[in-house]
Structure 1
Amino acid sequence: MRIILAVFFGLLLLAAGQGRALAAPPDPSGYWVTGKGEGVVQIYPCGGDARCGALVGFQIDHPQDPTPQTWDHHSQCRFVFIVNLHPRTRAWMGSIIDPKSGHHYSAKVRVMSANQLRLRGYFLLPMLGATRFWTRYTGPTPPADCRMPPNSLE
């Protein structure tokens, strides 16, 4: 009798859980200015429900200044450093790559409001990381070469 009751209540809980669809978090797709105003990142769909992000704009003080480089000496322009974000209950989870070192970290991205995004990069546990807040970029589409004039992100 106990087994029958346990199975019954288990099925009842399972059915209740099936009826309650968890809401997906807001989509982070769009253009965002990094927390320190160093550049513009585009987050975009990259297969199925996944999102990726690339650096698409950075300020250049002088036209002759070189383009910032990654750890392996490639241009940071269009460098995809946010990889494989997937929606979870309240945030998007995936990974990020540090363009200066090439190190990979886990990432948690959460849209806080229409104009603010929170990115937490961490190693092993979320408590072992750092959080950055980005703001929505509303300027003109960044140029193909990613070079933006000084003070264009302020």
Structure 2
Amino acid sequence: MRNLMAGLRALALIGPAMASPAFAAPDVTGTWMTEDGEGAVQIAPCGDRLCGRIVWLKTPLDENGQPMRDENNADLSQRDRPLCGMEVLSGVAPGRDGWEGGWIYDPEAGARYSVAIAPGEEDAIVVTGFVGMKAFGRALQWHRAPASLKRCDAPPAPAKASAGNKRS
């Protein structure tokens, strides 16, 4: 009994020293290249949560020169939406190991999944899409996009008048 009491006193003394400060979710905001390099998603605050939109596509236009559309969406009424600028991540809140609790949409599969986001290697995040349990999900590593990335959601630059188009 004496040893038990001594052990409890020792824990009482070192417990506060081992307590961690309040959890702060890592910063995962910014523009990230998807693992396959086919797109980039900008993650930003949306109130007290995070959301993300497609801001770059390797192939922004279809074979007819039209913007790529959400043609694989299970909801037929959504198939005409342009991919560029589309929200593909929403409702993600600080969690125990990073960010969680929201959803991610995969335009290639036309499906929405639960999502968790955690820091990865340097300048990378791990995005896990799953149904049910995160342990059975698919984890993908996204890398920070270069600052020079030409965004597909940016408004077109105004056309400059050439010397032949000036009116006197």
| TM-score range normalised by the length of the shorter chain | 0.7 to 0.9
Tell me, yes or no, if the aligned pair for 1:90 and 1:110 is still in contact at 8 Å: yes
Cα shift at 1:103: 2.4
Deviation track 1:82-134 (CA, whole Å, cap 9, x = no partner) reads: 11110112210021122245422110001224411100000011133211101
Q: Distance in 2 between matches of 1:60 and 1:20?
A: 46
Q: Distance in 2 between matches of 1:98 and 1:91?
A: 21
Unaligned runs of 5+ residues in structure 2 are 1-11, 74-78, 155-168
Runs (4+) off by over 4 Å: 61-64
Instruction: Give the counterpart of 2:128 among 109, 120, 126.
Output: 120
Secondary structure of the 1:127 match is: helix
**Higher RCO (CA-CA < 8 Å; seq separation 6+):** 1
From the superposition, tell whether residues 59 and 144 of structure 1 become closer, same or farther in structure 2 (CA, over 3 Å): closer
Tell me, yes or no, if the aligned pair for 2:33 and 2:39 is still in contact at 8 Å: yes
Percent identity of paired positions between Structure 1 and Structure 2: 26
Cα shift at 1:139: 2.9
1:22 and 2:30 aligned: no
From the superposition, tell whether residues 113 and 128 of structure 1 become closer, same or farther in structure 2 (CA, over 3 Å): closer
Number of matched residues? Answer: 129
Tell me, yes or no, if the aligned pair for 2:56 and 2:150 is still in contact at 8 Å: yes
* TM-score, normalised with respect to structure 2: 0.67
Tell me, yes or no, if the aligned pair for 1:92 and 1:108 is still in contact at 8 Å: yes
Alpha-carbon RMSD across the aligned residues, in angstroms, is: 2.5
78-87 or 94-103: bigger deviation: 94-103
Unaligned runs of 5+ residues in structure 1 are 1-11, 147-154
Tell me, yes or no, if the aligned pair for 2:55 and 2:84 is still in contact at 8 Å: yes
